[in-house]
Amino acid sequence: MSMQKTTNKLKEFLAYLNSIYGYLASATLFFPLANQFFKVIPLPSENTNTWVYFATLSGAFMFFYQFTRRDTQEAQIGNGMIAFVFSIISVGIYVAFPYGILYATIFFVLTYSFSELAVVEFQKIYPIDPKYISKNPSNILNFVFKIIGALFTFFFWATVVVIGLGLIVLVIAAST
């Protein structure tokens, strides 16, 4: 990749971050880690560190996933709003039932919401080529399918990384 392409990608990433939604997406990305110190939202009782790291990593995946699709799909405000409402509902459920998976879901969906809205703002500055625009309606079903697809992709790559690291550890252990 040439220096000019790299510089353009960096400028695009900074433009993606340079909106209120980009800042909010960044904050929700690191909030689970900061929450361990400040305890704004009560942490789950079981496997606290595991759920905090999972929430942070899945949020990071969603954050960068949304950035990578900035040129290929038209972001929709409706999906971001549906995700935001879903995350608020998840907070209410989490208060009643403080399970780790709900904790991770809150931050994953909240990061999705703000990342989607950041892409909307990004596409106002850098319009995408019309041949890439898909005309999917902004509805709850479309939102659910996007979230499920992103989760499957995340779990696939997380599994690949864990298996790869496990093999490396086995090779190192066998060689000593």
- 82: pLDDT strictly greater than 70: yes
Q: What does the pLDDT look like over 9-23, one tens digit per residue?
A: 888 888 888 888 889
pLDDT computed for residue 134 by the predictor: 56
Answer whether 152's CB lies under 8 Å from 56's CB: no
- 70: pLDDT strictly greater than 70: yes
pLDDT computed for residue 129 by the predictor: 66
Q: How many Å apart are CA 164 and CA 168, to the nearest integer?
A: 6
pTM attached to this predicted model: 0.70
Mean pLDDT of the chain: 79
In 3D space, the residue among 108, 114, 125, 103 whose CA is nearest the CA of residue 48 turns out to be 103
* pLDDT category of residue 159 using cuts at 50, 70 and 90: low
Residue-range definition of the domain harbouring residue 20: 3-175
What average pLDDT score do residues 73-92 get? Answer: 79
pLDDT computed for residue 143 by the predictor: 65
In 3D space, the residue among 119, 128, 156, 99 whose CA is nearest the CA of residue 19 turns out to be 119
Q: What does the pLDDT look like over 109-123, one tens digit per residue?
A: 888 889 888 888 888
* pLDDT category of residue 136 using cuts at 50, 70 and 90: low
Structure tokens at 147: 């979230």
| Total of domains in the chain | 1
In 3D space, the residue among 103, 108, 106 whose CA is nearest the CA of residue 58 turns out to be 108
